[in-house]
Amino acid sequence: MKRLMLLAPAVLGLAASLRAQPTVFTYSGRLTDGGSPATGTYDLRFAIYDSTNQTVTLGTNQQPGVPVSNGLFTVGLDFGANAFDGSDRWLEIRVRTNGSTGAFQTLSPRQQITSVPYAIFARTASNIVNGAAVRSLNNLRDNVTLAPGANVAIVPSGNSLIISAGNAGGSGIWSPNGTNTYFNSGNVGLGTANPASRLDIFGAQDAMRITGYQPLLTLRDSNSANQRGVIQSVAGGLNFFSENYLNAANPLGYFRLDGSGRLGIGTATPTRPLEIASGGLRFSSNGGDIDFTEVADVTAWSAGGGSGLPIFRAHVGVVPQLRFAVMDNGDVKLGTNANLYAPASEENLRIVRGRVNEDASAPLGCCFSVAHPLSAAYDITFAQPFSGQPIITVTPLYDGFTANLVPLGDPNRQIRIVTKYQGTLNGSAFNFIAIGPR
């Protein structure tokens, strides 16, 4: 398949006198054969039309034996002065291999002839005497005045007029300062004619976009020695830098919201939904609760407080069942319904709590061991002795059973619990709690 592309038409042979101006113009093109630049000799036929689909020609020109090298060729075309009267014109090109007797192949589409060939036609040029001045501009005659519009300056320089943007000679609001432009008064509105801020952007959600390598936005407080706060976009996340971080006074003075929605305070690589590098954490609440919930286990830890209410508590279940609570008066409550508690005092107390089964296994609790020397005797040994004798409460798990405490060795470290059923020695499961000074 042969294809012709227009590179640049040009006018040839312009004479000093417009009256002697020739009608020949140069046409340069590029011919491809099968998608590759053509090389060889070709016959070319050119025709002028007044539309893209008209069948009546306004002039033809045949160029036999045109040399084409690496796809490029140049020809001189002459359709006469009558072919160009100021109306639109289109050029049709046909091609065949030189020496061929076959039909010409029409190259499509026709190409519109633009201003350069039309240099051969001027409606009034033939009426102008050599050296005479042209005294009209766009149908304005004689005393034509060029006046600057908004943000335009017209400055004469010798025989030239320099037209440029700026305030000089114009009414623009922007002032140049070297390669910069500035504006000191009023507000600027984008999408609004009544800006309420120094820069007021009104439009769709994507109203402002900053694109670049890790772009950032700097905010300075003129009321505080121009201290900075910087917001930066990195890898789909946001960095927020404080002045102390930027001036190296505090290397942890920033936080990052990464592309996965994790928030890191003092760390750029959070591995949890919230990660704090150092400095601890403080929650403040005025009358409300701060809750931590594990959804899968339906377990919650919360902090709140108030008159007669827990300041810290743990509960489980869809219908909350209290397991542990620190009351606002300092009491510590334990148990499924907070039925066991240690009253508040100025003493430094330690609590050891557990459950012992009939076979002396201990499924609940910690910090103690159990021996079972007799069928109804259970020796409890605390991993760390109390500094004074503890208060111990024992609750059998089954009705009809009772439990007695029997001294055993060091009372700060050991205690024997003996269980009975209706007054007869009999092993049984029980809960116990020991509270004593550390």
13 pLDDT band, cuts 50/70/90, is: very low
Where would I find the beta strands (DSSP E) of 159-273?
A: 160-165, 175-177, 180-182, 188-190, 199-201, 216-221, 227-234, 237-241, 254-257, 263-265
CB 161 within 8 A of CB 153: no
**Candidate from 70-79, 85-94, 117-126, 368-377 with smallest mean pLDDT:** 117-126
Token pair in block for residue 55: 């069948």
User: Residue 82 has what pLDDT?
Assistant: 81
Token pair in block for residue 44: 């070319």
CB 406 within 8 A of CB 425: no
User: Residue 114 has what pLDDT?
Assistant: 76
Is the pLDDT confidence value at 75 over 80?
A: yes
Compute the distance between CA of residue 148 and CA of residue 160 in angstroms, rounded to an integer.
Answer: 15
Mean pLDDT taken over the chain:
79
Is the pLDDT confidence value at 257 over 50?
A: yes
Average pLDDT over residues 296-323: 59
User: Residue 70 has what pLDDT?
Assistant: 92
Average pLDDT over residues 11-39: 68
User: How many of the other CB atoms lie within 10 Å of CB of 109?
Assistant: 10
Compute the distance between CA of residue 30 and CA of residue 37 in angstroms, rounded to an integer.
Answer: 8
Is the pLDDT confidence value at 410 over 90?
A: yes
pLDDT over 70 percentage in the chain? 71
Q: What is the pTM of this model?
A: 0.37
Is the pLDDT confidence value at 369 over 90?
A: yes
Token pair in block for residue 269: 């690589």
Residue 352 forms beta bridges with which residues?
434
DSSP 18: G
**CATH tag for 2-125 (out of 2.60.40.2060, 3.30.9.10, 3.90.180.10, 3.30.460.80):** 2.60.40.2060
Is the pLDDT confidence value at 17 over 60?
A: no
Average pLDDT over residues 389-394: 94
Token pair in block for residue 2: 């042969």
321 pLDDT band, cuts 50/70/90, is: low
User: Residue 18 has what pLDDT?
Assistant: 41
* CATH code for the domain defined by 347-437: 2.60.40
Compute the distance between CA of residue 37 and CA of residue 267 in angstroms, rounded to an integer.
Answer: 60
Is the pLDDT confidence value at 130 over 60?
A: no
